[in-house]
Amino acid sequence: MSFLGLDLASTNYSYYTIPAAFVLTLAPNAYAMILAGRNYDLNQPRRTEEICSKDTSMPKATLQKISRAKAATANGFETLSLYAASVVAANSSGVVPLSKLNALTLGYVASRAAYNFVYVVAQDNKKLAGVRPLVWAVGVFIIMNLFVGAGGGGKA
């Protein structure tokens, strides 16, 4: 089985997806830092939104995007440890086929990238707000699938 030139059946990529997910978790915060510009205070980074809200020259749309980017980062950290545990469980169980393990873990990384985009960028259009929980649910489904597979549920 091949995906984007990766041999999913004989090479284990799953552990590499954990640092990839970590980088994707940090990405929206880096974007918020860029948007905040001179208002970003390295000494008090958690006050970014408060400081930016006091800047009367900053457009409301930018403030909202900063807020969503910070929230996307927080959400990523809320699920990252569960994801890493599910990858370790699926690998150590020895019952999840490598091609499935790779497909699920690469799918999780893709779901986090999509989540970041949908939450931070696409939600400028409020009509797309319902897409965010769906993309989040895909990531959680993958995590649960990895755990259930590790337990031998449904013969992985």
The tens digit of pLDDT for each residue in 40-62 reads 988 988 899 999 999 999 999 99
The rounded distance, in Å, linking the Cα atoms of 106 and 100 is 10
The rounded distance, in Å, linking the Cα atoms of 29 and 33 is 6
pLDDT at position 156, please? 43
Q: What is the mean pLDDT of the chain?
A: 92
CA-angle at 140, arms to 65 and 126, nearest 5°: 30
What's the pTM? 0.89
Q: Domain locations in the chain? A: 13-155
Tens-binned pLDDT, residue by residue, of the chain (156 aa): 555 556 666 789 999 999 999 999 999 999 999 999 999 988 988 899 999 999 999 999 999 999 999 999 999 999 999 999 999 999 999 999 999 999 999 999 999 999 999 999 998 888 888 999 999 999 999 999 999 999 986 554
Pick the CATH number of 13-155 from 3.50.50.60, 3.10.20.30, 1.20.140.10, 1.20.120.550: 1.20.120.550
